[in-house]
Amino acid sequence: MTKVLIIAEAGVNHNGDFDMAKKLVDAAANAKADYVKFQTFKADKIVSKKAKKADYQIKNINDNDDSQYAMLKKLELPDEWHYLLSDYAKSKNIKFLSTGFDVDSIDFLDNLGIEIFKIPSGELTNKPYLVHIAKKNKEIILSTGMASMLEIREAIDVLIEAGSKKELISVLHCNTEYPTPMKDVNLKAMNEIAKEFDIKIGYSDHTLGIEVPIAAVAMGAKIIEKHFTLDRTLSGPDHLASLEPNELANMVKSIRNIELAISGNGIKEASESEKKNIEIVRKSLHYNSNLYVGHILKEEDFLIIRPGTGISPMRINDYIGKKLLVSVNENDLLSENHFL
């Protein structure tokens, strides 16, 4: 079974603080995630200075400033930090990843040696951006928050027509609300995406808690992406809908357990671990009282009790009416050598 890829999404939860960014790498590594992922952008290239914050951003930051530009400007990840954080992640035995939000950021990340391009939900309808990524001929992970099936199809078609190989594309079911209400998760849509496009699927989660990504793995997700933070009470657009370090570690551990639980061959049979308990837990045919040579066995002569080291109660009818050749005592196991 292919291991589920777990991406710990630090995103912009570094709050513009390099030491905090390093601590986020530490937390992701300690949780045993496969990747720690940040976001790469220049505010001037992705948002108008007149653009307003989303409702959840206003609520989570609460700084009396509704400018999306001003918010993002403070959260840019400087170019130099990419190199430093990438090296630091390597020293912590976790892979570094970042989402580029514009073509210049994609080129920068490509030169940095990023092995996967993550397309955020907001760029799913950005054709020039999609074409630019497809031409890099690298693995692509496409998030689909806010998207319809038609829009997903159009994005996949653009990527393939621009040169991307379908086998290099993974699609993540996603909901772009922070936090996502449970009633809006619609996790069944993930498998509909897999069925419709015959493509590798995963789930990018913005709900509170860890149960939904765990459920997604049980349903077939091959990639899980989840925001995390050092402290959910920090000011910033994504902290409130993020896991704290201990929760991230619990999510990773739970996903690895689910992987093991669904890795069987699908054949119902006694497992190696439980075979030793068969004789202890099951029952056998025993005698209900002291009986003597020549006794003809009746149903009431049998006692069905543990252990299961003797003859199965499923065969009781084979012994009703048989004549004992030996005397037996109460609680003795029924044995084939008691009869002709």
Helix (H, G, I), strand (E, B) or coil at 30: helix
- Kindly tell me the number of DSSP H helices and DSSP E strands found in the chain: 13, 10
pLDDT, position 47: 83
**Parts of the chain belonging to CATH 3.20.20.70:** 5-261
**Parts of the chain belonging to CATH 3.90.1210.10:** 272-338
Going residue by residue through the chain, which has 340 residues, state the pLDDT in tens, using 9 for 90 and above: 689 999 999 999 999 999 999 999 999 999 999 999 999 999 888 888 877 767 767 676 666 666 788 888 889 999 999 999 999 999 999 999 999 999 999 999 999 999 999 999 999 999 999 999 999 999 999 999 999 999 999 999 999 999 999 999 999 999 999 999 999 999 999 999 999 999 999 999 999 999 999 999 999 999 999 999 999 999 888 999 999 999 999 999 999 999 999 998 999 999 999 999 999 999 999 999 999 999 999 999 999 999 999 999 999 999 999 999 999 999 999 999 999 8
Helix (H, G, I), strand (E, B) or coil at 19: helix
Q: What topology is assigned to 272-338 in CATH?
A: Type Iii Antifreeze Protein Isoform Hplc 12 (3.90.1210)
Provide φ and ψ at 39, rounded to 5°: -130, 135
Report the distance separating Cα 121 and Cα 185, nearest Å.
15
Assign 3-class secondary structure to 231-289.
CCCCCCCCHHHCECHHHHHHHHHHHHHHHHHCCCCCCCCCCHHHHCCHHHHCCEEEECC
Closest CA to 286 of 267, 276, 300: 300
Closest CA to 159 of 171, 148, 174, 147: 171
Report the distance separating Cα 140 and Cα 111, nearest Å.
16
pLDDT, position 61: 65
Spatial CB neighbours of 257, under 8 Å, sequence gap ≥ 6:
none
DSSP H helices in 47-169: 55-61, 68-74, 79-91, 103-112, 127-134, 149-161
Beta bridge partners of 96: 36
Residue 182: Cβ within 10 Å count: 12
Q: What topology is assigned to 5-261 in CATH?
A: TIM Barrel (3.20.20)
